[in-house]
Amino acid sequence: MAIERVVVAGGGTLGSQIAYQAAYSGFRLTICEVNAAKVAASKRRVATWDTIYARELAATPAMLHDTNERIRYATDLETAVEDADLVIEAIPEAAGVKREFYATLAKVAPARTIFTTNSATFIPSQFAVMTGRPDRFLALHFTSPVWTDHAAEIMGQPETDPAVYQEVVQFARDIGMAPILLQREQPGYVINTLTTPFLEAALTLWANGIAEPATIDRAWMIATSAPKGPFGILDQIGLKRVYNGLLAASAQPGKGGLVEVAHKLKMELLDHHRLGLASNHGFYQYPHPVYEQAEFLI
């Protein structure tokens, strides 16, 4: 079965990027949100990606117009998925929210529809039973920004049909991603398993008052010649997503202190609508963050 009709459930920072990249690659798709206010916010994010694709990928006005023409929006899940080949779940990182979503989705999606989760912290076997089709359920994980970090991590669970897995691999290629194939389930996949301790360490340094974000980034960039530091990366991930991830990770043994880190992030940034790249303001201001200036490293 060739994947043609795609639904992205959740039009947040990463969900809207996934949808935009798929539409830019020629797919017609629907972004499904829970209410009209969330749809309006998703549309604003998509407008941001218009600007970035024009600036960074030299997308022409005609290409951007065609991309937007391929994107539809919905608030009714049953209508959105009535003819879907693939659903990409990109809703908040909360286990209860995801369980409820899959229980609902299982009732309204066609039997042929493949379900994938973009969860950054959970593994697909945690939700396989709720989907009602564990053989057609797996993880398809993207990192932000999708237009440059073009890896798509694909992770099945014990009941995933190998043929379905390969369909998702092909879809990832079709939207310009490089598939990263995992042989077993791993919380955090490959990329987050490597980067999460790094980002948590940076946030903890900041939360404990050791150094300011720009100082931490500057130290990292000087030491490694990296183009950005951890706080630049966090802005690109999206700070609301980071906040949810911190709360989820805080339940792990030895990580209870991340609750205080999450609280500081909420109080000092999220409560002031500093969401990262999607709102043009997070730890840095965009589109021209100071870490891109040569003087930043002096």
Q: In the chain, pLDDT over 70 holds for what percent of residues?
A: 100
Q: What is the mean pLDDT of residues 83-98?
A: 94
pLDDT in the model for residue 185: 97
Q: Is the pLDDT of residue 159 over 70?
A: yes
Tens of pLDDT, residue by residue over 237-273, are 889 989 988 998 898 899 999 999 999 999 999 999 9
Residues 6+ apart with CB under 8 A from 125: 157, 158, 185
Phi and psi angles of residue 60, each rounded to the nearest 5 degrees, phi first:
-80, 165
Residue, of 47 and 277, whose pLDDT is higher: 47
In this structure, are residues 289 and 229 in contact, taking their beta carbons and an 8 Å threshold?
A: no
Tens of pLDDT, residue by residue over 39-85, are 999 999 999 999 999 999 999 999 999 999 999 999 999 999 999 99
Is pTM beyond 0.75? Reply is: yes
Q: What is the mean pLDDT of residues 107-130?
A: 96
SS3 178: strand
- Nearest CA to 32 among 7, 13, 49, 14? 7
Any idea what the Cα angle at residue 291 is, between residues 90 and 258, rounded to 5°? 50
Q: Is the pLDDT of residue 1 over 80?
A: no
For residue 134, is the peptide bond before it cis, meaning its omega torsion is within 30 degrees of 0?
no
pLDDT in the model for residue 120: 86
Q: In the block, which residue shows the tokens 């549309």? A: 43
Phi and psi angles of residue 115, each rounded to the nearest 5 degrees, phi first:
-105, 135
pLDDT in the model for residue 274: 97
